[in-house]
A and B are shown apart, each in its own frame.
Chain A
Amino acid sequence: KAGVTQTPRYLIKTRGQQVTLSCSPISGHRSVSWYQQTPGQGLQFLFEYFSETQRNKGNFPGRFSGRQFSNSRSEMNVSTLELGDSALYLCASSLAGGLQANNEQFFGPGTRLTVL
């Protein structure tokens, strides 16, 4: 079974631009979560989508948004990029909601975004 894939793997943008990152979950997984990782703040939860609906949201400004499609693929968008948005953006998928014994998340390799 293929793992979580993220595209692109590397991206360079300039301040003020916007960017869209893509995540394809493991087949059959319905939950997709996004995380930002920086040296200063570590791994921080951005948001989670389940069945095309945002189910959880972290403490990030409205410039960060996302969506999920009917095939569970997800995109996240960052508008009006700032230097501080330079980070590794990770996507993770898991099976579904509910009380499940094995609810682990599977992470993709990430997209390395550099804002100049």
Chain B
Amino acid sequence: DAKTTQPPSMDCAEGRAANLPCNHSTISGNEYVYWYRQIHSQGPQYIIHGLKNNETNEMASLIITEDRKSSTLILPHATLRDTAVYYCIVRDHGSSNTGKLIFGQGTTLQVKP
């Protein structure tokens, strides 16, 4: 079973920041938080990941709470092309688990003009 909980859907106005929350209260010390998104009928796309520090790349920022029980993915200036299902996943980097992702239901983000 997925170890994360996300709201099923969210709306965001184009050009505004989209803040997608994720709860992972049972996360263990060696588990990372990963975010992927899936645009309709395409394969999932990696966005960002982190362990305990906040992370930023060209696509998004990841804010992880100090207790690591929740996180927020931030798309700073959402565009219509950001409309997708966003998945929050926790996984460790142990060699036996590198190729296994457990997806939950994700959050459907609808960016509106």
Contacts and interface: CB of A to CB of B under 8 A. Distances in A.
A96 to B, nearest CB: 7
Contact of B100 (A4, A48, A100): A48
Interface residues of B, number: 24
B103 A44 contact: yes
B95 A32 contact: no
Contacts of B26: none
Q: Mostly helix, strand, loop or mixed at chain A's interface?
A: strand
Interface residues of A, number: 32
Given A43-B44, A110-B43, A105 B103 contact: no
Nearest to B97: A56
Interface in A100-116: 100, 103-110
A24 interface: no
B17 interface: no
B105 interface: yes
A45 B104 contact: no
Nearest to A98: B95
A90 B93 contact: no
A105 B38 CA distance: 13
A21 to B, nearest CB: 14
A107 B44 contact: yes
Given A90-B44, A92-B43, A110-B43, A100 B93 contact: yes
A58 B24 CA distance: 21
B98 A97 contact: yes
Contacts of A22: none
Contacts of B49: 104
B102 interface: yes
Contact of A104 (B34, B38, B94, B102): B34
Please give me the 6 A-B residue pairs with the lowest Cβ-Cβ distance, nearest first.
A107-B43, A48-B99, A97-B95, A43-B103, A104-B46, A33-B99
Interface of A: 4, 31-33, 35, 42-45, 48-50, 55-56, 58, 88, 90, 92, 94, 96-100, 103-110
